Amino acid sequence: LAAEAGVNTVPGSLAVVETDQQIKEIANEIGYPVMIKASAGGGGKGMRIAWNDAEAIEGYRLSKHEAKASFGDDRIFIEKFVEEPRHIEIQIIADKHGNVAALPERECSIQRRNQKVLEEAPSTFLDPETRRAMQQQAIQLAKAVEYCSAGTVEMLVDKHKN
C-alpha cells in the first residue's frame, strides 16, 4: 500500500521467506547488509543483521527458531538494513471528508533492545525540507487508505536523511 501511495519504503521482500536459497537470493537482490526479521516479532526478538550469504543463512535459521519459541510463529521476512537509522513518527489527524493534517513529529531513536526509551519532539535531526517531505508522505499514505482518526505513521531515516 505504501509504495502504491508513493511513499518511500525500505527495500525488501513482502513475501515470507521459506528457504536458505530464498534468503540468499533476496539478500543479494536488495544488497547487503540486510535485516532478517520475524513477522510476528517485537522487542528485538527474531531480528538478525547479515553482511554476507553465510550470515544471512545463519541469521535466517536463528531468527526462525527464536520466532517460533517466542511467538509461536516462525514466519520470516527480509529487508535492507538501514545503517544509523533515525526512528521518526509523524502524527496525523484525518476526517471523513478526506482531509488529513500532519502534526509535529517525534523522534524515537533512543532505544534499548529495539524498544523506545525516550521520545524527543520535534526531532533535532530533521531539517525543514526533510520534515515537510516526511509529513507529505504521511498524508499521502493516510489518504490512500482513507484513514479517519488520529494516528501515527512510523518512518526510518538514514544518516543521509533518506
The whole-number pLDDT of residue 78 equals 95
DSSP 141-157: HHHHTT--SEEEEEEEE
Nearest CA-CA partner of 86 in 113, 50, 126, 115: 126
Spans in the chain with pLDDT lower than 70: 114
Nearest CA-CA partner of 12 in 20, 56, 29: 29
The whole-number pLDDT of residue 115 equals 72
Whose cell is 544518516? That residue is 159
The whole-number pLDDT of residue 149 equals 97
